[in-house]
Structure 1
Amino acid sequence: MPGRASWTAMSEMTQSFDVVVIGGGAAGLSGALMLGRARRSVLVIDGGDPRNAPAAGVHGFLGHDGLAPAALLEAGRAEVRGYGVEVVDGRVSAAAPVDGGFAVDLEDGRRFGARRLLVATGLADELPDVDGLRERWGRDVLHCPYCHGWEVRDEPLGVLGTGQWSFHQVLLLRQWSADLTLFLHTAPAPTDEQAEQLRARGIAVVAGEVAAIETVDDRISGVRMGSGELVPRKALAVLTRLVARTAPLAGLGLRAVPDAHGIGERIEADATGRTTVPGVWVAGNVGDLMAQVVGAADQGARAGAMINADLVEEDTRDAVAAYRGTPVGAARE
């Protein structure tokens, strides 16, 4: 692992930090909080477009249930700043190794240096191409019943089929409502076993592709089929394709790989968030597509602690080298 950046590389940067955190959601801010409390110099760079922005509240996060996503992030920013962490608004255009660490470039031309990186850029939801679906996303078009199922309990609900996992989703959603319809759309026809399970749970199945989502008074009123039929529903669940946000990180050598469950692409990392690229950790949905907010926060805190431990090892090697009269950095070659 390279050590501190050389003077030449550092002189080209606006400022350098022990750790730069790319992404200021629950995962990134939790990592920054842990590192700030460890008295590390930390910069959080946030693009301001959290995945859960359309949602009315964060759920399943003990002590914060129902809190607006923006309020959670505002409180998190205030907390990390209390420990000396710097938070800047901006979008990363590129990140790459330099002599002694990493350089992180922003779209506005600023460049920051870091000894270590924590990537918490989250993921993007790729929705099926159905008219009206995107406009209702995060409101009454839902993804996770644990996050939003309570809010639509006992309503007439639908599941938009996109693949085999849609059968699991519709059976799961049955816990929240007995009035449930599976719209096959692009999902395969159910097997005999699946069809029996659906009938046993009283779940209706509608074949054919969905053409549009209809609304009345700013709320879903029904699902319009390609045949023209309108099936009244109050909310719709859909499994999106989940893709880690990695476009600006290609220079680091980080590449998204298919998730083992076939639901999208993520960055591979170990249980602590350490990636295959030395000096780079990930936390949250960028490495764990199914993590909820509370899980992302936990991963950020864990990665922050591991990054600090890694820096402690490096600081100790440098201190021993200096104590012995060896030039700093030589012990790492």
Structure 2
Amino acid sequence: MTDQLANSYDVVVVGGGAAGLNGALMLARARRSVVVIDAGHPRNAPADGVHGLLAREGISPKDLVERGRVEVRQFGGQVVAGTVATAAQDGTGFTVTLTDGRTVRARRLLVTTGLVDELPNIPGLQSRWGHDVIHCPYCHGWEVRDQAIGVLASGPMSVHQALLFRQWSPDITYFAHTSVPLTEEQAEQFAARDIRVVTGEVTAVEIAGDRLAGLRLSDGTVVEREAVVVGSRMVADASFLAPLGLLPKEHPSGMGEYLPSDPTGRADVPGVWLAGNVTDLSAQVGAAAAAGAAAGAQINFDLVNEETQAAVEAYRAGVPLT
């Protein structure tokens, strides 16, 4: 990314994933000056491919982002490498400060920084994340179909995950780990779907060569598995918005923290929009891209309204149009 950062833009997009790039594409095509500031740490970097995305099924996350950058630049948008440290209100707009000291002014902000997955502290789990340690059946279910799958109870959606992954494989084992016991209804559902339940704390992920081999329990038993499903705690990656009073809130699902927005992506602070996983924890790439595009259109409309009001006031005062 070689674009130079100018002094000011109509819109600064913070985050260079699918949501940010699609938002920037819409704004650039609307003839807005727009820059994407990309820290270069995408959530889906460990994954081999993007799935469930029409006409781009299986494309690598890196290739998808590169294509998106080319398209944004094609219409005059910029993409700049950098990490935002703070965003502060500056008159009718915002001043965005990067960690390297650079600053830029924006009339509007579109925040698409995504989230951070916090995994249980079990040796071996993090190193296999995005490969054979997964969380979403719609992202990875096809790739592990008919395999021996373990579901590690780690959050409020673990039972739901086990029932979902049963659609992709008849061999599902639920590891109760340190979670609360199943209810009678949940136990009956598992029995009816032939989902095995293993009690005992999981202490390690067993790895053989470059593949997951199973889960080790506290008593030393190793239960062989080919893939493990785990529910991460998902936390919005947007601490730089704190000076604006935008702080993450606990998600109603209990799965983590997010920044709330209205259906158009508008945040609680005027002039700030949110799109993608920073506000929608469960959004896949396609949904995140669509949200970015919708937010971009809404931001342009907001700017048009502002400019129209200014033009009307100038017209009434007899000031010539420029």
Q: Which TM-score band applies after superposition, normalised by the shorter structure?
A: over 0.9
Higher deviation after alignment, 16-25 or 250-259? 250-259
User: How big is the shift at 1:153?
Assistant: 0.5
Give the root-mean-square deviation of aligned CA atoms: 1.3
Which residue does the alignment assign to 1:3? Answer: none
Q: Does 1:91 align with 2:83?
A: yes
Q: 1:312 aligns with which of 281, 301, 304?
A: 304
- Is 1:141 matched with 2:141? no
> What SS class does the counterpart of residue 307 from structure 2 fall into?
helix
Cα deviation for residue 111 of structure 1 reads 0.3
- 1:310 Cα offset (Å): 0.2
The yes-or-no answer on 1:77 pairing with 2:69 is yes
2 CA distance for matches of 1:25 and 1:173? Answer: 27
| TM-score with structure 2 setting the length | 0.96
State how 1:94-109 maps to structure 2 within 5 Å.
Answer: 94-109=86-101
1:213 aligned partner: 205
Amino acid at match of 1:172: L
- Residue 111 of structure 2 is aligned with which of 102, 119, 127? 119
Q: Could you tell me which residue of structure 2 aligns to residue 131 of structure 1? A: 123
Rounded to whole Å, the distance in 2 between the matches of 1:193 and 1:86 is 54
Which residue pairs with 2:316 in the alignment? Answer: 324
Instruction: Give the match's secondary structure for 1:320.
Output: helix
SS of match in other structure, 2:105: strand
Partner of 1:7: none
> Match for 1:283 among 275, 278, 298?
275
- Cα deviation for residue 14 of structure 1 reads 5.0
2:16/2:38 contact within 8 Å kept: yes
User: Is the aligned partner of 1:235 residue 2:237?
Assistant: no
Say if 2:183 is the partner of 1:191. Answer: yes
> What runs of 5+ residues in structure 1 fail to find an aligned partner?
1-12, 329-333
Q: Which runs of 5+ in 2 are unaligned?
A: none
User: Could you say which residue in structure 2 is the equivalent of 1:331?
Assistant: none
For each residue in 1:7-62, what CA deviation from the matched residue of structure 2 results, as whole angstroms up to 9, or x when unmatched?
xxxxxx95100000000100000100100010000010000000000000000000
**Change in CA separation of 1:206 and 1:262 when aligned onto 2, cut-off 3 Å:** same
Q: Could you tell me how far 1:238 is from its partner in structure 2?
A: 0.4
Could you tell me which residue of structure 2 aligns to residue 30 of structure 1?
22
Give the % identical residues: 58
Post-superposition offset of 1:196? 1.2
Q: Which residue of 2 aligns with 1:175?
A: 167
Indicate conservation of the 8 Å contact 1:14/1:110, yes or no: no
Higher mean Cα deviation, 243-252 or 37-46? Answer: 243-252
Instruction: Give the stretch that moved more between structures: 317-326 or 206-215.
Output: 317-326
The whole-number CA distance in structure 1 between the counterparts of 2:94 and 2:268 is 15
Provide TM-score, normalisation by structure 1: 0.93
Q: What amino acid does structure 1 have at the position aligned with 2:229? A: A
Aligned length in residues: 316
Partners of 2:248 and 2:156 lie apart in 1 by 22
Distance 2:246 2:156 in 1: 29
Query: Structure 1 residue runs of 4+, over 4 Å off?
Result: none
Deviation at 1:326, TM superposition (A): 7.6
- Asked if the contact 2:156/2:255 (under 8 Å) is kept, the reply is no
Residue number in structure 1 paired with 2:292: 300
